[in-house]
Amino acid sequence: MDLGTFGVWTAYRGLGEENAGEAAALVAELGFGTFWLGGSPRLPTVRPLLEAADGLTVATGIVNVWAYDPAELAHEYAVLAPEFGDRLLVGIGIGHPEATSDYAHPLRAMRAFLDGIDAAPAPIPADRRALAALGPKMLDLCRERTRGTLTYFVSPEHTRDARERLGPDALLAAELACVVDTEADSARAAARRYAAMYLGLRNYTGNLMRYGFTEDDIADGGSDRLIDRIVPHGTAEAIIAAAREHLDAGADHVCLQPVGVRGIPREQWTALAAAGLA
């Protein structure tokens, strides 16, 4: 399975599930290696993406452990694997405490979920699954029991520490939200609309504060310093330069997520491909 250096990240709620095949074909045509489907998808919903673009890897970002029985997820993977197993990466995540009343002991819950997958009649192979992770203990679990990690809403400084924690061999895929817009005020406004939810979730804000941001940076929609670092804006070339900071810090792959766009972000994906894949 080859993820390539750059992939794209989107969710059906913005893209439109009816546009899945067209979007996947475009992503493959532009030369991106991986299509990341966010928004806690059900695994069967990736089929149109896989069918539309031979050679394109498709990854979930993420299936949520609170919405799944692990044996059910393993069965759904087993249905897809004979056709697409070498192009399907199952990204699994614990979500965040504000989203479910059941949230407790996330590391223990994730271990139990992986145990359930491994106990299924047809387990998801370890190298065909990855975990969303921010903290050191979850990163350790990624290294021990999966292909690696996908990180979200993080700085390159976090990427550097994650690589050190994971060691040299585990996958490290870093999501990078961005706004392809050279007008700073409108770009930051779009970035803040996207960031608003994450700046209200303590797993993300706690992680940001471990990497030099303060409560003042997080308040009132995020400081310019925080927004520009976590959701960069500008030309496609400037955004690719920001993505390369994650690669230089140890990421194997960066998932580019243009935000503030409804439907297929054709113009943004095309510009980013021209800047990063030419």
Average of pLDDT values for 115-130? 98
pLDDT at res. 105: 87
Range of the domain at 228: 6-276
C-alpha distances out from residue 104 to 71, 99, 107, 109, 143, Å = 21, 11, 9, 8, 22
**In-domain check, residue 72:** yes
Six-digit token string for 223: 């400081």
CA atoms of 134 and 206, how far apart (whole Å): 10
Cα 218 from chain centre: 21
Assigned domain for 166 exists = yes
**What tokens were used for 195?**
């960031």
CATH of the domain at 156: 3.20.20.30
pLDDT tens column, 82-110: 999 999 999 999 986 655 656 668 999 99
What pLDDT shows up at residue 201?
95
Q: Report yes or no on 195 lying in a domain.
A: yes
Nearest Cα to Cα of residue 8 among 31, 46, 35, 29? 35
Averaged pLDDT of the chain: 96
Maximum Cα–Cα distance across the chain = 54
Percent of the chain residues topping a pLDDT of 70: 97
- Omega of the bond leading into 92 within 30 degrees of 0 (cis): no
Does the residue 1 lie in any domain?
no
Residue 237 pLDDT: 98
Task: Residue 139: count other Cβ atoms within 10 Å of its Cβ.
Answer: 24
pLDDT score recorded for residue 99: 56
Average the pLDDT over each of 13-17, 105-109, 241-245, 268-272 and give the range with the smallest value: 105-109
Instruction: Tell me how many domains the chain contains.
Output: 1
Is position 22 within any domain? yes
Is 229 in contact with 158 (CB distance < 8 Å)? no
pLDDT digits (tens, 9 = 90+) for 147-158: 999 999 999 999
In a domain, 147, yes or no: yes
Q: Are strands 171-180 and 63-64 parallel, antiparallel or unpaired?
A: unpaired
pLDDT digits (tens, 9 = 90+) for 163-206: 999 999 999 999 999 999 999 999 999 999 999 999 999 999 99
Closest residue by Cα to residue 85 from 20, 1, 24, 3: 1
Whether 159 has a pLDDT exceeding 90, the answer reads: yes
> CA 179, CA 187: separation in Å to the nearest integer?
6
pLDDT in tens, 54-78: 999 999 999 999 999 999 999 999 9
